Structure 1
């Protein structure tokens, strides 16, 4: 019986354990380090190709010192030269003198001298995922045995990249599906129309890792207006922004077509004043049954990483489900309002047909009795009773009129918006934070301070989600607090039991305070 093998894992064993991006990066670095050592090369590199835009997005190197990297500066992007050849023509390349080959172009200034070269593509199911190459054999030139070794390691690297991308896509798809289900559930619990749009905007922003989540709706003039916006800071200058009729992007949006933009700040189709701060963006129609409810826009910051094809697909599916949920929520709200109207109408009829008639009949009886009574004291008593009944009849009739009117929407204020923010955070946290208010927050807190408080609350909830591990979050808003100088203040305290910034346990408490 052979003894169990000990020592560090082999590259193939690393491949089998791929789970996330950190593990992938460690595995690819281990592969290029192993290839360089086993083949006796001075330098080695493994490049990963962007599957949508071509060129190398990452380059893992071996044998280069920090000083070498500083001299080189920008590493090759793989679009030209021998590296580009490996991507265009996926066959191994072995050269005794790289400098003498006419295909050797695009070497950055300051790059270490290279002569002997062997490179192979990273290929999986006919898809080129990158390349692996070695230079400067320490003894002689690279052999066919070195080339075969490199091909084995390249196949392991290709499997690792392919598995990591599949795993990442599956995790991402799971997050979007879970988020869409949570949004649907939240919308069907009876929120009003504006809260429903904010729920969609906030959830989509978090799922897409966007700077902002924005909902636009058509205007009577034929344009579109931003009616709800969720950002990590104050979105006040975003809400109300309009896209004027005739804008090139508006034709696609009103036609229910998604619009994908590489850079909002430079795209000529974008005409709003807020576009300068945004980069990659998705604008997705919210439509169901041929009815266009609006548009969901998910811009990232200027210079942010582009959206991939899987991002666009999942976000489009989310928008379709969110639109259906909005329609169902609106229909459910209409049914609930109709039920309320019917119940109020029944109550009004009963009050009119039964209560008012009986009160009126009693008033007539008392008035008739009053005429027959000669006693002054009884006459005054009956007169006051008749007046009371007449006043009661008028109040009942006023109530009947009020019951027959449509009920007004629920009040909005600091209390309502704080509850909305915590309700939206429940989609990502997996539970609803507990909220406690002290004092008359709606009357004591000014609108400007309320906006600052909500921005601080968003930041604290987002930080709790990023740290992870939280099973409970407590939010306290105290409008009766006092600042250090004794003036009135409003204080926000957000406490969670998750991991701390330093990696420890015990939870985190965030406190924000401002004069009312």
Structure 2
């Protein structure tokens, strides 16, 4: 009878533990979100063997340490007091290196035991079991301090069975998460590509970075391009966390794997560690949490990488999975194609604009200027035949106004005429200076040319003339408070002259600073002169130098 009662007690105990295993299994399968599933697995293991502490460590993708650590039984304040969570060293590392169950009466008995960090709760008995997802070791279950004092073989068998079920639950949760992730990334990819193709204004690289940050699961996006010297990387655009400090920065090639991605044309990713021995300049760092995950996606055209997308996450967030890497590679290919199409569209629109400007320039030259010139000749003849001196003078002033209008139209025709990419002619330099200085003015700076300016003025002389023009125009813009500013560049057989006139307040002694002194010195060095005729309401500055020779 005693033997029968003992067997009955054993069966009741076994049935109770099997029921506990079933309850633990049911608790795991009730949720489909992977973070929740992992926490429920750790909680179920603790309850199954009646342990005080439990944890689930997720092994990093490269097999080096842990990338996530979910703990049960330890308060948040205790975790904060300890500092950073385990990374997979000591006994935990032994289970990673050899994924077979480990059961210890005292955790200090293991040869790889290294003790506990400061403020860590006391732990003695230990049970560790790997969790396999198909043929892959996903992570490990760690249990400590059972209420009975030590773990027994039955505990190991139960937790091993729980881990086997957990492997299937994790596989399903990962599959669902990957499917949802693919849907989000593919939708984002389509939206980003459409935005790049539909945009007609702004920087396409800036828009790309903005769209990626707002539509994907990353915290910062940088677009890196190779520097001019081939040993630096320039951050063309940056959006997201800490982007203001990166936009426009030049990084040494050794400071970021973006350069390696450029050179190889292949995707590179870093998981991010609490104490990363090789911090990357494009990763997001936190003093307490360390370095976040970062992925580098080459942007290629015709097999050649011309830029890199560096996408990063904040420290503490999960690393990029293999599915995300695969999807991101597809996104990079779509984006590169969209950027090429956008660039081709921009070039086509520019070509149409150039053609339209050329047509307008021809019409102005062939029709408008000829009509104005003919009208001027006719008015000049009328002025000579009129006996009334006052009327004749008025007609002559009208002819002068027409001549001035012809000069302005010719200047506009020249500015609208297509020119080579690196056109350094003096005319275009002066026009660019006038356009630059006209920003914020009610009326743009007026420019006219007389004589064969580009044929006679070139080289260092052209640079000096452009510098003098810039100084005079800037001086008028900043200090004259003028409504009308006019620049005239005249070239004769002997000299080149720049005249800048305005209707402003006049140039007093206080305004004759270093810039005016430098202009006079520059003209004297070339054997020329610099004169200013100024009074309230009218100022005219003339800078004149000979075409050849420098004063000894």
TM-score by length of 2: 0.55
Match of 1:166 in 2: 175
Work out whether 1:360 is the aligned partner of 2:376. no
Contact 1:221 1:245 in 2 (8 A): no
2:208 aligned residue (197, 200, 203): 200
Question: What are the ranges of 5 or more consecutive residues in structure 2 without an aligned counterpart?
Answer: 1-21, 420-430, 437-552
Work out whether 1:225 is the aligned partner of 2:234. yes
Contact 2:262 2:306 in 1 (8 A): no
Residue 283 to residue 160, structure 1, CA distance change in 2 (3 Å): same
Deviation readout 1:357-380 (Å, 9 max, x if unpaired) = 233333333344444444556544
Deviation at 1:332, TM superposition (A): 1.3
Contact 1:48 1:58 in 2 (8 A): yes
Match of 2:489 in 1: none
Deviation readout 1:168-200 (Å, 9 max, x if unpaired) = 33344344333333333333344667x322333
Contact 2:57 2:141 in 1 (8 A): no
Work out whether 1:319 is the aligned partner of 2:328. no
Deviation readout 1:86-134 (Å, 9 max, x if unpaired) = 98355x77x7x8459986863856644438x6x7543332323334576
Deviation at 1:344, TM superposition (A): 1.4
Match of 2:125 in 1: 114
Distance in 2 separating the partners of 1:347 and 1:360: 18
Contact 1:286 1:323 in 2 (8 A): yes
Match of 2:278 in 1: 267
Contact 1:282 1:298 in 2 (8 A): yes
Distance in 2 separating the partners of 1:320 and 1:404: 38
Deviation readout 1:236-290 (Å, 9 max, x if unpaired) = 466332426999984663343444456797439x799x99998454443222213
Residue 241 to residue 345, structure 1, CA distance change in 2 (3 Å): same
Question: What are the ranges of 5 or more consecutive residues in structure 1 without an aligned counterpart?
Answer: 1-8, 412-516
Work out whether 1:285 is the aligned partner of 2:298. yes
Work out whether 1:253 is the aligned partner of 2:266. no
Distance in 2 separating the partners of 1:301 and 1:101: 36
Match of 2:13 in 1: none
Distance in 1 separating the partners of 2:151 and 2:400: 116
Residue 147 to residue 166, structure 1, CA distance change in 2 (3 Å): same
Deviation at 1:61, TM superposition (A): 3.7
Q: Which has the larger radius of gyration?
A: 2
Distance in 2 separating the partners of 1:379 and 1:169: 88
Match of 1:130 in 2: 139
Match of 1:31 in 2: 44
1:49 aligned residue (42, 58, 63): 58
Relative contact order: is structure 1 or structure 2 higher (C-alpha 8 Å, sep ≥ 6)?
A: 1
Contact 1:29 1:60 in 2 (8 A): yes
Contact 2:232 2:250 in 1 (8 A): no
Match of 2:523 in 1: none
TM-score by length of 1: 0.58
Match of 1:88 in 2: 98
Contact 1:214 1:230 in 2 (8 A): no
Contact 1:217 1:227 in 2 (8 A): no
Distance in 2 separating the partners of 1:139 and 1:255: 56
Deviation at 1:14, TM superposition (A): 4.7
Deviation readout 1:309-347 (Å, 9 max, x if unpaired) = 445444444333333322222211111111111111112
Match of 1:188, SS state, is helix
2:163 aligned residue (151, 154, 171): 154
* Bigger Cα displacement from structure 2, 9-18 vs 326-335: 9-18
Residue 175 to residue 99, structure 1, CA distance change in 2 (3 Å): same
Deviation at 1:19, TM superposition (A): 4.1
Residue 24 to residue 375, structure 1, CA distance change in 2 (3 Å): same
Match of 1:225, SS state, is strand
Residue 233 to residue 49, structure 1, CA distance change in 2 (3 Å): closer
Contact 2:56 2:70 in 1 (8 A): yes
Residues matched between the structures, number: 388
Deviation at 1:352, TM superposition (A): 2.1
Contact 2:220 2:311 in 1 (8 A): yes
Match of 2:359 in 1: 346
